[in-house]
Chain A
Amino acid sequence: MSPADFPTTTGQTDAAASAALLRVRGLQKSFGSNRVLESVDLTVGRGRVLALIGPSGSGKTTILRCLNGLELPDGGTIEVAAAVIGDRAGGGITTGGGAASSASVTLDFAAKTSPKQLGALRDRSAMVFQHYNLFPHKTVLQNVIEGPVIVQRRPVAEVTAEALALLARVGLTDKQSSFPFELSGGQQQRVGIVRALALRPQLLLFDEPTSALDPELVGDVLRLIKELADEGWSMVIVTHELEFAREVAHEIAFVDGGVIVEHGEPKQLLRHPQQERTRQFLHRLLHPF
């Protein structure tokens, strides 16, 4: 299977651009008079992992939320390339939930965006939340199959088998009938990840996935994310864990003041930051006292 054609609106012809899964250009967002995103450009290749780091209030979470249509940007474009049919992103999960979500999608936020377009964007990505946001009135298994069965209208038997396989993989087979409140934070977050995977997204979005966890539970969740990255899932991760970002990401972008101040390979960016703002941020994180 060859990668589906990617609309080369900007005339880019190099191989990297044609393999791009996600392309964001000039993303802008204000809350009232507070300009949160000035103008954000970023590209994520297929099977690549981008980590967003930066001080709180820098806009990194807002970028992520825009990618899932949870925030409506004021301007800019978001493009997600067509799914590669039959592409197995890992763990036996085929990406591209249904036929409707396998085509490429381009949203230009300068124009008015319809709920349908936002839905199309949402179909292509799945998010893992900082506070898990599991549905408390549904069991673990029900949490996982809700989207595939109710929204994507896939057969219950097939979805259930897939969900159980995913739960087995994260070691939660015996918790399938439990309610979220009966689980530890780490277990809840693993269910959150399984819920996202079960949607068969092309792109996984992680919003500070370990920030709400007790320190001893962080490792399990980070290890799982690392495994998924190694299997070839495309991801954008907002994180404060620099060590983890260095391990898992192909690229790190430092966000501050609503722009991407600089980006590059993890080693390069963390060891030899080019911008003063990046240097200051890293220094504060590495030398808090």
Chain B
Amino acid sequence: MIQPDWELFLGSFWPMLDGAVRGTIPLALTSFAIGLVLALVLALMRLSPKRWLSAIARGYISIVRGTPLLVQLFVIFYGLPSVGVLIDPWPSAIVAFSINVGGYAAEVIRAAILSVPKGQWEAAYMIGMSHNRALTRIILPQAARVSVPPLSNTFISLVKDTSLASLILVTDLFREAQQIASFSNEFMLIYLEAAFIYWVICLVLSTGQGFLEKRLDRYVAR
């Protein structure tokens, strides 16, 4: 019977939490925010009647979704220096994750915009709105409601994917865990503890998603 080392468990909790608070969480939040803006632009490009704009967005999305996130991270952090572009770990991670979220969320937002009935565009035009105003005041608020569940998925995946940043030397929850595990040799305990902290963070996010959905659903028949 293996006795868990509770002292190690508690002692390693704080450094890991510190890694989460100073690494994982800000990395995920920043990348998600930038990625969402990028995704909205890409979604609108995809929906543009201008073929070349749509083609650029389609190409971007295809490449981002068709290549592993880890490879994207390594290209930016380890690859770019060989062509003279040196980026620190943190900015590298943010760039990679933002690009990645942008590709995935673009398709979510595009589908959400398309899910708003055509009559809504027509009513907006009828009251005299321009395309852009119709989009921002009438279409996007309705698309937002539809896109909360899939975007929450994207965000939760992102939180867990940030653990890959430890491989380009970003000090996050998982890098702390790796360091503690390697000097204590308690791999099982420490990695389970890390998994537990990720799970708690994602639980909090799921709860937030629930609140947001409820708030946005107040004008929908149930």
**Size class of B's contact patch?**
20 to 34
Q: Is B62 an interface residue (CB 8 A)?
A: no
Complex Cα–Cα for A196 and B220 (A): 23
Specify which of B125, B130, B137, B221 is in contact with A146 (CB 8 Å cutoff): B137
Docked Cα-Cα span, A198 to B117, in Å, equals 23
Chain A residues touching B, range: 20 to 34
Given contact pairs A129-B126, A150-B137, A151-B133, enumerate 11 new A-B contacts (beta carbons under 8 Å): A68-B125, A70-B122, A115-B130, A126-B127, A129-B123, A135-B124, A135-B138, A136-B142, A137-B219, A179-B219, A199-B128
Q: Which of B120, B128, B133 contacts A122 (CB 8 A)?
A: B128
Q: Is the CB of B142 within 8 A of A181?
A: no
Which B residues are in CB contact (< 8 Å) with A160? none
Is the C-beta of A133 less than 8 angstroms from some C-beta in chain B? Answer: yes
User: Counting CB contacts under 8 A, is A152 at the interface?
Assistant: yes
A-B contacts at CB below 8 angstroms, number? 64
Chain B 79-101 per-residue mask, 1 if CB under 8 angstroms from chain A, else 0: 00000000000000000000000
Show 19 A/B contacts (Cβ-Cβ < 8 Å), sorted by A: A68-B125, A69-B125, A70-B125, A115-B130, A122-B125, A122-B128, A129-B119, A133-B117, A133-B120, A133-B123, A135-B120, A135-B124, A137-B142, A137-B145, A147-B127, A151-B127, A151-B128, A182-B221, A199-B128
Within the complex, the shortest CB–CB distance from A21 to chain B, in Å, comes to 18
Interface string of B96-132 (1 = CB under 8 A from A): 0000000000000000000001011011111111100
- In the bound complex, do residue B123 and residue A135 qualify as a contact, i.e. CB atoms below 8 Å apart? yes
Q: Which residues of B contact A137 (CB under 8 A)?
A: 141-142, 145, 219
Q: Which residues of B contact A (CB under 8 A)?
A: 117, 119-120, 122-130, 133, 137-138, 141-142, 145, 218-221
Hey, which chain B residues are within 8 Å of A141, CB to CB?
Answer: none
Nearest chain A CB to B85 CB, angstrom units: 42
A149 to chain B, nearest CB (A): 10
By a CB distance below 8 angstroms, the chain B residues around A182 are 221
| Chain B contacts for A131, CB-based, 8 A | 119
Whether A127 is near chain B, meaning CB under 8 Å from some CB there, is: yes
Write the nearest CB–CB distance from B221 to chain A, whole angstroms: 4
Is A251 among interface residues, defined by CB-CB distance under 8 A? no
A195 to B218 alpha-carbon distance, docked (Å): 22
Q: Which of chain A's residues have a CB closer than 8 A to the CB of B221?
A: 181-182
Residue from the list A179, A180, A199 in contact with B127, Cβ < 8 A: A199
- A136 adjacent to B128 (CB under 8 Å): no
* A136-B142, A181-B219 as given contacts; A68 in contact with B126, CB under 8 Å: yes
A129 to chain B, nearest CB (A): 6
Q: A70-B122, A129-B122, A131-B119 are in contact. Are A123 and B142 (CB under 8 A)?
A: no
- The smallest C-beta distance from A116 to any residue of chain B, in angstroms, reads 10
